[in-house]
Amino acid sequence: MADVKLLGTWPSPFSYRVILALKLKGIDYEYIEQDLSNKSPLLLQSNPVHKKIPVSNPVHKKIPVLIHGGKPISESMIILQYLDESWPETYPLLPADPHERALARFWIKFAEEKLVPAFMIFRTSGEEQEKAVKEALEVMEILEEHAFGSLKEKEFFGGDKVNMVDLTYGLMGLRIVPD
Ligand SMILES: N[C@@H](CCC(=O)N[C@@H](CS)C(=O)NCC(=O)O)C(=O)O
């Protein structure tokens, strides 16, 4: 039996952050697809926060959950950091240089605080939606300048190799692709 299990759902960008990180690091894992309309006992017992928090503040949700050696870890970005700390000898998900690391953490925080809430445009209507659209456009302008602008100097937003910054942002596009 695999020592690493991932509870996730298609097409959650948060699950796919972890899947890509596991693949980049070459870690063998067992993927266990979850039905969010009928949560499995394994999922409910693995995530300590069962209560649904409003979508405007999507801090603790149910998936993804990584279970390593029987111990569960929730929250995609915390899982990515855990993977990097637990498998330091494999593909690094953060840059080695302290300044570049700090920049990577800054953009990861920006995504969690500004980009994820920007998706409220799909869950609101009327005046509330207009406000959400205005805020989302401001976030996109900042990203256009800093993410795409930075590609003149490096291969990816996170640096010359795909790293945690790219995993944070890359899959958010899934949310805006029509079904
Ligand atoms: N901040 C969380 C967000 C995870 C999240 O939003 N998961 C959603 C699926 S995409 C979920 O589990 N929803 C279940 C529910 O709302 O009951 C992370 O990065 O892991």
Query: Which residues form the pocket of ligand 1, taking CB atoms under 6 Å from any ligand atom?
Result: 12, 14, 36, 52, 58-59, 61-64, 75-77
Domain, as residue range, for 149: 98-176
Same domain, 62 and 128: no
Nearest CA owner, ligand 1 atom 3: 61
Q: How far is the CA of 62 from the centre of ligand 1 (A)?
A: 5
12-46 pLDDT, tens per residue? 899 999 999 999 999 999 999 999 888 888 998 89
**Tokens describing residue 27:** 């870690």
Q: Residue 55's pLDDT is what?
A: 52
Q: Residue 117's pLDDT is what?
A: 81
Residue stretches of the chain with pLDDT short of 50 = 1, 57-59, 178-179
Same domain, 30 and 50: yes
Q: Residue 50's pLDDT is what?
A: 56
Q: Residue 118's pLDDT is what?
A: 84
Residue that has been written with the tokens 């998900």 in this structure = 93
Residue 65 · residue 77 · CB < 8 Å: no
Same domain, 10 and 71: yes
Quote the percentage of the chain above a pLDDT of 90. Answer: 61
CATH code assigned at 53: 3.40.30.10
CB-count exposure of residue 156 (10 Å: 0-12, 13-18, 19+): middle
Number of domains making up the chain? 2
Q: Which of 27, 53, 86 is the last residue of a domain?
A: 86
Going by their DSSP bridges, the two strands 4-8 and 30-33 should be labelled as parallel
Q: How far is the CA of 91 from the centre of ligand 1 (A)?
A: 26
Q: Which of 23, 56, 86 is the last residue of a domain?
A: 86
Which is it for the CA torsion 93, 164, 108, 71, positive or negative? negative
Interior/surface letters 12-50, b for 16+ CB within 10 angstroms, e for the rest: bbbbbbbbbbbebbebebebeebeeeeeeeebeebbeee
Q: Where are the beta strands (DSSP E) in 69-122?
A: 71-74
Residue 27 · residue 90 · CB < 8 Å: yes
Q: Which of 56, 86, 116 is the last residue of a domain?
A: 86
CATH code assigned at 162: 1.20.1050.10
Same domain, 119 and 161: yes
Question: What is the number of the ligand 1 atom nearest to the C-alpha of 74?
Answer: 20
In a domain, residue 91? The reply is no
Counting ligand 1 atoms within 8 A of each CB, the residue from 40, 55, 62, 81 with the most, and so the one to mutate, is 62
Cα separation, 112 vs 38, in Å, equals: 27
In a domain, residue 92? The reply is no
Q: Cα 85 vs. chain centroid, distance in angstroms? A: 17
Pick the closest to residue 46 from 29, 32, 25, 26 (CA basis).
32
Residue that has been written with the tokens 């603790």 in this structure = 60
Q: Where are the beta strands (DSSP E) in the chain?
A: 4-8, 30-33, 65-68, 71-74
